[in-house]
Amino acid sequence: MTPDESQTSVKTSQDTRAGRKAAKKASSDQNNLVSKDKAGAGVDRGFALLAKFAGIFILIILAFVAIFLTYNSFEAIYREDEGLVIGRFLSYAWPLIVGTLTVSIIALCISAPVAVGVALYISHYAPPRLSKSIGYVIDLLAAIPSVVYGAWGMVFLSGYLANFYVWVHEWFSWIPLFAGTPSATGRTVFTASVVLSVMILPIITSVAREIFIQTPKLHEEAALALGATRWEMIKMAVFPFARAGIISGIMLGLGRALGETMAVVMVLSAGSFTWSIISSGNNTIPAEIARNFGETGDGTERWHQLIAIGLVLFIITLIVNMVARWIVSRNKEFSGAN
């Protein structure tokens, strides 16, 4: 999302004015046509149907994808010759699920505070002239393809962080997350998380910024008029208004982090599950699929397992999205979005 987007939402009053003008223009076109517009009702119904069909079409695509996934996943938990093999699938799947969640959550923990800070900077701290171009610069981060992030993490970042891991291990090895031999190559869960956090930062920033800018000016000015400092104003007027928006932005970022493939493939020394985030090991679901799908024979149990783990990722992302929707809708009445 770019500043343009926020522009639309910010300048509601101006848009209203401009839009009204458009409405007037449209209607003046319409006035000339109105007598001839016998078929208008038909067009109207046709357009409504077209829109409806587009929606139904999406449902059909999705139904096919869902059928495709479920159908092919089934044999991961049921083999003709052995019966149910759920246990085997679970023991295969759980390290991947934990790994995916770990990487994504660490990425969020790094990214979310920074992203909210940047959004605040753009909306409430930056010099007015600068804020627009800064917004553009941050959007640039979103425009960089993930292969490039992967290459950056692989070539530059991991080597740099390797020294940091040695240091962290020296001082904090009593924390299980920093136990284990620090990776000499820096290709660890933590490095992957850092790369992901850079990738999701602009997503969270742009959503949060948009919401911050929409804070009713009256609330802000009222707070300031009562003698609040800028931070107190933000705390009292901006955050309560923006809470739902921030959370949905964070969830959007989480969704992206969960599904990211290539950056993780290129940055992480995948391996078995370990609690340590500074030694090699662990793996995420998308990376597991991307790495192994090509070499796996069609129709083998492994192949079905890979599809099934894709279905699991599908479900995790779905849950994240549903939680986000739920939070947003629960907070709707407090926000001014309507």
Q: Is 299 left (phi over 0), alpha (psi -120 to 50) or beta?
A: left
Give least dist CB 108 to another protein, A: 15
Quick one: which segment of 66-74, 81-89, 171-179, 237-245 binds another protein (CB under 8 A)?
A: 66-74
Give least dist CB 46 to another protein, A: 8
Q: How many residues bind another protein (CB under 8 A)?
A: 158
What whole-number distance in Å separates Cα of residue 214 and Cα of residue 155?
40
Q: Which stretches does DSSP call E strand in the chain?
A: 78-79, 83-84
Q: 3-state class of 313 per DSSP?
A: helix
For residues 169 and 80, the answer to whether their CB atoms sit within 8 Å is: no
Nearer to another protein, 24 or 86 (CB): 24
Contact mark string toward another protein, 177..216, x via CB under 8 A: ------xxx-x----------x--x---x-------x---
Question: How distant is the alpha carbon of residue 147 from its chain centre?
Answer: 17
Nearer to another protein, 83 or 218 (CB): 218
CA pseudo-torsion sign 229, 234, 238, 239: negative
Tell me the sheet residues that pair with 79: 83
Nearer to another protein, 77 or 308 (CB): 308
Kindly state whether residue 125 participates in binding another protein, applying the rule CB under 8 A: yes
Tell which one of 87, 128, 171, 174 touches another protein (CB under 8 A): 128
What whole-number distance in Å separates Cα of residue 327 and Cα of residue 325?
6
Residue numbers 235-264 binding another protein by CB under 8 A: 255, 258-259, 261-262
Q: Name the pairing type of β-strands 78-79 and 83-84.
A: antiparallel
What whole-number distance in Å separates Cα of residue 203 and Cα of residue 112?
10
- Phi, psi (rounded to 5 degrees) for 78: -140, 115
Contact mark string toward another protein, 23..52, x via CB under 8 A: xxxxx-xxx--x--x--xx-xx-xxx-xxx
| CB atoms near residue 126 (< 10 Å) | 16
Contact mark string toward another protein, 81..120, x via CB under 8 A: --------------x-----------------xxxxxx-x
- Phi, psi (rounded to 5 degrees) for 84: -70, 135
Nearer to another protein, 13 or 333 (CB): 13
Nearer to another protein, 86 or 229 (CB): 229
Give least dist CB 64 to another protein, A: 7
Tell which one of 97, 105, 142, 177 touches another protein (CB under 8 A): 142
